[in-house]
Amino acid sequence: MSNQLPRFKSARESGYLLCIDCEKLHPLSLEGEHCDRCGARLHSRVPNSMNLSWASLIAAVLLFLPANLLPIMTFKSFGQGEPSTILSGIIHLLDQDMLLIGLIVLIASIVVPVLKIIAMTILLCTVQFRLQTNLRQKTLMFRIVEWIGRWSMLDVFVIGILVALVQLGNIAHIEGNDGATAFAVVVLLTMFSAIVFDTRLIWDNGVTDSPANDDQKDTQ
């Protein structure tokens, strides 16, 4: 398919730009105009992608500690009860031998956000410092992170469901706390950081990454 082309060449290098909304190819001279098929504004790269992505990632990192230290909900029964944080909720589940559920909540609430923050940092540094290694693996990492990130909303839904259901006055009731808001914002910010990140930037510096080079590597 690409054999006829001399080497991997991006649309931008060849004088084209792709409408990201409807995937129609336009001449590069239409930058800033509207796509004649879908009406979206045409940009060869998402404008301000790096700044917006960095800003939301840093904001997510700053909010990550309060999200994990503040209580997310309080269970009260006959006047007694104490607030729980994300981590204490997970430990409580593990203590009660609910291993599988404890692990699911641990992965969704802590492992995934941490991995997502690390992955986005690696991707942003790749573009920022023009790194050229393992680009294919990094693209794959981005796809996984983008797909899995939304599952971090799990604990937020659990809080909503429990608060709505356990409203039995003095016998038992559950209320939500501010940690839940901080946590939801962290998840939103990491999702936003991935959405505004333009994956094409990763490949823009990979000038040496051509099929010709691959062939040489193979024969050596």
Residues within window 52-91 making contact with other proteins, judged by CB under 8 A: none
Which range touches other proteins (CB under 8 A), out of 49-57, 59-67, 123-131, 132-140? 132-140
Beta carbon of residue 218, minimum distance to Zn ion (angstroms, whole number): 20
Q: Which of 29, 128, 134, 139 binds other proteins (CB under 8 A)?
A: 139
Beta carbon of residue 141, minimum distance to Zn ion (angstroms, whole number): 15
Q: What is the DSSP letter of 83?
A: E
Q: What is the DSSP letter of 173?
A: E
**Per residue in 90-105, is it b (16+ CB within 10 Å) or e — as a string?**
beebeeeeeeeebeeb
Task: Spell out the residues 6+ positions from residue 103 whose beta carbon is closer than 8 angstroms to its own.
Answer: none
Identity of residue 23 = E
101 lies in the binding site for other proteins (CB under 8 A): yes
93 lies in the binding site for other proteins (CB under 8 A): yes
178 lies in the binding site for other proteins (CB under 8 A): yes
Confirm if 78 and 36 have CB atoms less than 8 A apart.
no
Residues near Zn ion (CB under 5 A) are: 19, 21-22, 24, 35, 37-38, 40
Host H or E run for residue 23 = none
Q: Which of 121, 163, 192, 205 binds other proteins (CB under 8 A)?
A: 163
Beta carbon of residue 7, minimum distance to other proteins (angstroms, whole number): 11
Confirm if 183 and 86 have CB atoms less than 8 A apart.
yes
Which range touches other proteins (CB under 8 A), out of 47-55, 57-65, 114-122, 181-189? 181-189
Q: Binding pattern to other proteins, positions 103-122, x when CB under 8 A?
A: -xx-----------------
Q: Which partner in Zn ion, other proteins, none is near 65 (CB below 5 to 8 A by kind)?
A: none
Torsion of CA 95, 97, 99, 101, to 10 degrees: -90
135 lies in the binding site for other proteins (CB under 8 A): yes
Integer CA distances (angstroms), 117 to 75, 179, 187, 206, in order: 31, 19, 10, 24
